[in-house]
Structures are given as structure tokens and as C-alpha cells.
Chain A
Amino acid sequence: MTTIKSLEDLKKLREQALQKRDVKRAEGAAQVIVGMGTCGIAAGARETMKAVLETIEQEGLSGILVTQTGCIGLCEKEPIMQVVVGDGPKVVYGKVSADVARQIMKEHVIGGKVVENHVIPM
């Protein structure tokens, strides 16, 4: 088992993350919520979540809060993803495939521009 060694690695990563912290605060945090009810999972929400996490990793996005919610009664629009950037409005997206999730991450979360054609009017 390599557990002990990898926990040492993790400690280093923690130090690095602590150093980056102040930078991230200046950028303004973003919140991403993925619907993970049975309907969401069946519609592909795990791949949506995976695409969100991959983008965070690849683009080195710090300070993004990723969480999940259950069924919100819009099963036919799943996978559903909600995005809030800084003090901006809450935007709910529907039919968020992995590709759409990557697009939202790049254009909305990083770029600050809402991806209009996937917004669900609430």
C-alpha cells in the first residue's frame, strides 16, 4: 500500500493550496450545484459532475464550491446544474451533458457570461 506516502504528498498539496488562498479570494468564489436525484443520475448527472471536476482540475480553478441537490421536480430537464458566480444571479441550466457542463464552466464560471441556450427560466 502506498497510503502513507500519498498522505505525505497530500500535506504538500495542502500547503500549496493554503498559499494560493488569498489569490482565489480576489477572484470571487463560484458555486456549482448538480442535481443528483435518481432522475438526475439516470439522465447522466455523474458525467456532468465529472466534467465539472475535470474542468476545475485542468483549468486550475480555485475556490469553487461544488455540491449536489436531489430531485427538484424538473426531471425531464435533467441533468440540471445551477451556477452562481460571485454576487451574480442564480442561473439554472437544463439538459447539461458533459459537453454542456464544460461549456458552462468555461463561459460562465470562468468567463462570467451566461450560456443562454441552456438556461431554464425559473
Chain B
Amino acid sequence: MRELALHLMDIAENSVAAQAKTIHLEVEEETAADRLWICVRDDGRGMDAEMVQRVVDPFVTSRTTRKVGLGIPLLKAAAEACNGFLEIQSQPGVGTELQVQFQRSHIDRMPLGDIAATMISLLVAHPEIHWIFRYKVDGAEFLFDDAPVKEVLGDIPLTEPDILAYLRETIESGVREVHTMELI
């Protein structure tokens, strides 16, 4: 995958698969500390320590009773190649938190990519989930919580053309504003 935003989407799909009701996606860029940090937090079914080990390092473990993908190991390798880390904290029945950090200025760091497209895809494809997106660059922050939107909409689906346009404009302009701040 060529964008961190695509990895973010992949990680978020894991939370969806874990039957989360609420999923937080957070991206923070700090120029002074030279770090780019991503966090996905869910209230899904969680994992025990052995399972966490297995999703992080699928080739080292012996158990093959469950299917484990390559999304997380690939992201971990990418982070470690950029003086960063990937860490998972999980508790069965409580939820999972995945944090990944990169040295922001590292030459090998993947671009963040189209984070607005990632947010919109997740939002639309999983309307049953409560999504909270936060994108922060230094002092500027864009926060999107879909709860008020869904409350206003009631039973009107997010995929109605005017609603889609509203969501796209809100999220794209929110992300853009934060990005612009970065250049000042």
C-alpha cells in the first residue's frame, strides 16, 4: 500500500470485523517533534495476548487455527523502517487500540495520502458504526463525529446524492484546512 490513509482504512476494517460499535481514527502530525502518529481505537471484541502476538507477527507463530492477514505486519515494518513503532493494546471484551508512529521527515515515510477518501469510504460503507475522526497537524485540528449527522438524518441513508455531497465537502474541507495550517 502506498498511502498511510490506505493502511488506516485496512486497520479500521479490522475493528469493523471485531464488531466494534464505536471506532476512533486519529492522525496527528507534529512538525516540532518530527512525528506522525496514527491511532485506531475500538470497542470491539478485543484479543488476548497470544492473538495480538499473532496479528503482529503471523509467520513466527505456530497456530494456524485462525486466519490472520498481512495488513498489520506490513504497517509495522513500514513504521520501524522510519524510526517508528507499531503497538497494540487489547483486552478481550473491551476493545483494541492500535498505535503506529513514524518519523515524519523520514525519507522512506509513506505519504499520508487521501485521508478524506478513507474517512468517507468507511463512513458510508459502515453506517451502523459510530465513527469519530480526528486529524491534527500541530495546532490545527479537524474533528468529525458522525453522531450529530446521523441524528439529523434519521432514516435517510448516507448514500443519498445530496447527503454524500454534504459529507464529502465537510470532510474534504476540514482536512484541507488542517493541511493548510501546516504550511504557515
Contact = CB atoms under 8 A, between A and B. Distances in A.
Interface of A: 3, 6-7, 9-11, 13-14, 16-18, 20, 34, 36-38, 41-42, 46-47, 49-50, 53, 56-57, 59-62, 64-68, 70-71
A83 to B, nearest CB: 14
Nearest to A24: B160
Interface in B72-116: 114
A36 B9 contact: yes
* Contact-residue size bin, chain B (C-beta under 8 Å from the other chain): 20 to 34
11 contacts: A7-B148, A10-B149, A10-B166, A36-B13, A37-B13, A41-B9, A53-B121, A53-B164, A53-B168, A56-B161, A57-B161
A46 B3 CA distance: 11
B16 to A, nearest CB: 9
Q: Which of B69, B70, B149, B156 has the most CB of A within 10 A?
A: B156
Contact of A6 (B69, B124, B156, B166): B166
A13 B166 contact: yes
B159 A64 contact: yes
B170 interface: yes
Nearest to B116: A50
Given A10-B149, A46-B121, A65 B166 contact: no
A36 B159 contact: no
A56 B159 contact: yes
Contacts of A6: 166, 170
B63 interface: no
B27 to A, nearest CB: 16
A61 to B, nearest CB: 6
Interface string B3-24: 0001001100100010000000
Contacts of B17: 70
A13 B149 contact: no
Contacts of B69: 37-38, 71
A61 B157 CA distance: 12
Nearest to B156: A17
Given A10-B153, A38-B13, A46-B118, 16 more contacts: A6-B170, A10-B149, A10-B152, A10-B166, A14-B154, A17-B160, A38-B71, A46-B6, A46-B114, A53-B124, A57-B161, A61-B161, A65-B157, A65-B159, A70-B17, A71-B69
